[in-house]
């Protein structure tokens, strides 16, 4: 089944509100195994909305519309559907009485209902009304030829209630013959292009299941999706592909589905009874924030320092002034002393430190913006890694934090010596 989303509202085009309705609908359709082929955003203009709807009726089996069902003059969805589907608008007496009662309950008999509210009782001929349990704008389900058109109000809580209570059960019946299963595999320490090269033949040969790669925040996700007559059969289709991907990427694979890198790190530290302290310069506390977002992190995370200046590095961590003077704050020598200093002060198993130039200024020819050093100190040795990234200040900070988490994960994932 081919689905299409049409999101109505000039405020969406102006960027005044975030379109969470499209995300909600697309996610639910994916869970049902219904493919979303197109998504359009249209302003409050009858001609343009009618044009988009006509195209949707020609190419899609299911069209879900959000917005434009209110009582004002710029709420045009019902009129546009009526024109595009050639189904005249008709007033539903039951809905009209329901709207009148809701208005009376909300405002009392002292306030007369505006004639504009009658507009919300108009539906394209042949429509099935979708009740609105939390608002005053009902939606409708219209079957026109081989296409189903479902219209919701744009208010998120109303759309979600109407979808869950009325539309979802109907779509489950339509989609019952096919199940879609999605499996996400997560990787760190490798870029999207490098991972694509490792999996090049698998990507080229994909059919069912499909395989797609996505990069975000210094990690990469492989999305495996399979369709079958049941969830069990779909999982069986995914299993050999997932096994082969894990075999090829064992040095980078860290989790599945909703697992984050920081969650895996926290779990590893807790399971091994290890403790950690962190010293951050260029990331400004981002690493500590990521780790302490995970419940139970107080069981291993002892303390964190944000040492943004040279003075702070000296006073709080014991970095030698001569080291800063000779090598600068952006050096492997400084990162090493930061990591060892924070470990000694916190008396932890590990001390992690990051220092670098997030930009946009502060770089030189020898030490450009994007240069970063990450150090991890243990009792027996200290590891120092050099990185260089291009991007905005926020992107560089995010990538430094991601690389630091990856170093923690790789370290605690190594086999423990007896």
Q: Annotate the chain with three-state secondary structure.
A: CEEEEEEECHHHHCCCCCCHHHHHHHHHHHHHCCEEEEEEEECCCHHHHHHHHHHHHHHCCEEEEECCCCCCCCCCHHHHHHHHHCCCEEECHHHHHHHHHHHHHHHCCCCCCCHHHHHHHEEECCCEEECCCCCCCCEEEEEECCEEEEEECCCHHHHHHHHHHHHHHHHHHHHCCCEEEEEEEEEECCCHHHHHHHCHHHHHCCCCCEEEEEEECCEEEEEEEEEECCHHHHHHHHHHHHHHHHHHCCCCEEEECCCCHHHHHHHHHHHHCCCEEEEECCCCCHHHHHHHCCCCHHHCEEEEEECCCHHHHHHHHCCCHHHHHHHCCCCHHHHHHHHHHHHHHHCCCEEEEEEECCCCCCCCCCCCCCEEEEEEECCCCEEEEEEECCCCHHHHHHHHHHHHHHHHHHHHHCCCCC
Of 114 and 61, the structure prediction assigns the larger pLDDT to: 61
Please say if the pLDDT value at position 418 is more than 60.
Answer: no
Please say if the pLDDT value at position 190 is more than 70.
Answer: yes
Residue spans of the domains in the chain: they are: 2-175, 179-256, 261-413
What is residue 85's predicted lDDT score, i.e. its pLDDT? 97
Please say if the pLDDT value at position 290 is more than 50.
Answer: yes
Mean pLDDT of the 304-323 span:
98
Domain pair 2-175 / 179-256, same fold = no
Residue 177 banded pLDDT, cuts 50, 70, 90: low
Q: pLDDT tens for residues 229-272?
A: 888 999 999 999 999 999 999 989 999 998 999 999 999 999 99
Q: pLDDT tens for residues 114-135?
A: 778 889 999 999 999 999 998 8
On whether the CB atoms of residues 152 and 75 are closer than 8 A, the answer is no
Q: pLDDT tens for residues 81-110?
A: 999 999 999 999 999 998 888 778 777 776
What is residue 415's predicted lDDT score, i.e. its pLDDT? 65
Please say if the pLDDT value at position 186 is more than 80.
Answer: yes
CATH of domain 179-256: 3.30.70.2860
CATH of domain 261-413: 3.90.950.20
CATH of domain 2-175: 3.40.980.10
What is residue 33's predicted lDDT score, i.e. its pLDDT? 79
């Amino acid at each position: 089944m081919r689905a299409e989303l049409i999101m109505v509202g000039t405020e969406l085009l102006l960027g005044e509100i975030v379109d969470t309705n499209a995300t909600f609908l697309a996610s639910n359709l994916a869970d049902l195994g219904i493919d979303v082929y197109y998504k359009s955003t249209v302003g409050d203009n009858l001609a343009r909305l009618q044009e988009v709807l006509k195209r949707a009726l020609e190419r899609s089996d299911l069209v879900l519309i959000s917005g434009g069902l209110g009582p004002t003059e710029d709420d045009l969805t019902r009129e546009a559907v009526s024109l595009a589907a050639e189904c005249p608008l008709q007033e539903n007496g039951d809905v009209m009485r329901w709207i009148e009662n809701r208005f009376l309950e909300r405002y009392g008999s002292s306030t007369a209902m505006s004639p504009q509210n009658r507009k919300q009782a108009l539906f394209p001929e042949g429509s099935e009304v979708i009740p609105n349990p939390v608002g005053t704008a009902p939606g409708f389900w219209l079957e026109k030829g081989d296409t189903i058109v479902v219209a919701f109000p744009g208010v998120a809580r109303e759309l979600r209630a109407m979808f869950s209570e009325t539309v979802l059960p109907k779509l489950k019946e339509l989609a019952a013959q096919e199940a879609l299963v999605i499996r996400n595999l997560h990787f760190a320490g490798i870029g999207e292009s490098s991972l694509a090269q490792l999996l090049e033949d698998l990507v080229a040969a994909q059919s069912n299941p499909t395989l797609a790669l996505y990069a975000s925040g210094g990690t990469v996700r492989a999305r495996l999706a399979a369709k079958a007559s049941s969830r069990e059969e779909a999982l069986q289709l995914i299993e050999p592909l997932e096994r082969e991907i894990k075999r090829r990427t064992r040095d980078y694979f860290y989790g599945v589905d909703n697992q984050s890198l920081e969650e895996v790190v926290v779990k590893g530290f807790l399971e091994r009874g290890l403790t950690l302290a962190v010293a951050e310069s260029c990331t400004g506390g981002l690493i500590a924030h990521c780790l302490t977002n995970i419940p139970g992190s107080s069981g291993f995370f002892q303390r964190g320092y944000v040492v943004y200046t040279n003075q702070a590095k000296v006073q709080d961590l014991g970095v030698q002034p001569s080291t800063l003077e000779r090598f600068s704050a952006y050096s492997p020598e400084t990162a090493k002393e930061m990591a060892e200093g924070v470990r000694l002060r916190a008396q932890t198993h590990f001390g992690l430190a990051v220092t670098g130039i997030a930009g946009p200024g502060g770089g030189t020819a020898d030490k450009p913006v994007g240069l970063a050093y990450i150090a991890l100190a243990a009792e027996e040795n200290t590891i120092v890694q050099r990185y260089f990234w291009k991007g905005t200040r926020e992107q560089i900070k995010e990538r430094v934090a991601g690389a630091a988490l990856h170093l923690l994960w790789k370290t605690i994932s190594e086999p423990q010596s007896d």
